[in-house]
Amino acid sequence: MSKVHVKKDDTVYVLTGKDAGVSGKVLQVLPDDSRVLVEGVNMVTKHKKPRGRGQQGGLVHQEAPVSSSNVMLVCPSCKRPTKIARKILPKGGKVRVCKHCGETIDTLREDRG
């Protein structure tokens, strides 16, 4: 299991691939594979078979995971794709910080104390 630099509900910018330059919200993080599921990115067509009575089959368009190395976090305050820094607070908590504007993005762990 490896660490992924983005979390669920983060807004990310896609760097490479067929959807390069697109921004979207992270729907799911798959840390074991180091991949993320981004809303509206890497759309694939699945052939679904009807299962059970009354259920309809057909073609379903859905998102497929992309590598987490191909996405970059978008800072909520400066609205730019950015690398992140992790800072340790004096009380022991950790925060993610934007490298462009220096603003705190969010807290990784709650303060102890």
Same domain, 87 and 67: no
What pLDDT sits at residue 43? Answer: 95
Q: Are 108 and 96 in contact (CB under 8 A)?
A: yes
Please state, in angstroms and rounded to a whole number, the distance separating the CA atoms of residues 108 and 86.
9
Same domain, 69 and 87: no
Same domain, 93 and 41: no
Same domain, 64 and 95: no
Domain span including residue 68 = 1-49+59-74
Give a yes or no: residue 2 inside a domain. yes
Please state, in angstroms and rounded to a whole number, the distance separating the CA atoms of residues 21 and 90.
38
Same domain, 35 and 66: yes
Domain count, the chain: 2
Supply the pTM of this predicted model: 0.82
| pLDDT by residue, tens only, the chain of 113 residues | 678 889 999 999 999 999 999 999 999 999 999 999 999 999 999 999 999 888 899 999 999 999 999 999 999 899 999 999 989 888 888 899 998 888 888 877 554 44
What pLDDT sits at residue 112? Answer: 45
